[in-house]
Amino acid sequence: ALESESEEAIEAMAEEFMDGFDDEEEDSDAGDFLGLGKKTRAFAGFTGGQIFSSYSDFKADRTQFGPDDEINFCVTVTNTGNRPGKEAVLLYSSDVAASITPDNRRLRAFDKIELQPDESREVKLSVSARDLAFADVQGRMTLEKGSFVMAVGGQTLELECNSDWKE
């Protein structure tokens, strides 16, 4: 219950955060690469719904982590359109193999940026390793050894948790 309440709060914050996109914008599934949840922003009135942003150079400051670590990510976002625009940069995690089946993909961090045409910006996001934990069958927050896939804007990284932790 605790996990779903906190996840609902994160999703609500992200929705509120994403409010303020121009009314001319509409969501497009064109950028949902590999089903990782990246929705590109397409502008109404552009021929074929030109995609606003591209993501590149997704990196983390570590490939292995323990329960007490902070993991720092950066990604370059470029406005590929010919108008200024806003983009919500959303970082998701997926636990590749857990003792129970937590949600397939969970929002972990986000930022909202505004870019001019052809402008690029490096966006930095951080996640506490314990924020990758899930509620076990007893309701205790649990982080298990194993692989996690982190995704932002169609870019992915695989990280390895090197030790277990229980709350």
Query: Tens digit of pLDDT for each residue in 27-71?
Result: 444 444 334 444 444 433 333 334 478 999 999 999 999 999 999
Q: What is the H or E stretch that residue 9 is in?
A: helix 2-18
Which pTM value belongs to this model?
A: 0.68
Q: By C-alpha distance, which of 89, 26, 103 is closest to 55?
A: 89
Inter-residue contact 33 to 130 (CB < 8 Å)? no
Query: Tens digit of pLDDT for each residue in 62-77?
Result: 999 999 999 999 999 9
Dist CA 102 CA 143 (whole Å):
11
Query: Tens digit of pLDDT for each residue in 124-154?
Result: 999 999 998 888 888 888 888 889 999 999 9
Inter-residue contact 153 to 89 (CB < 8 Å)? yes
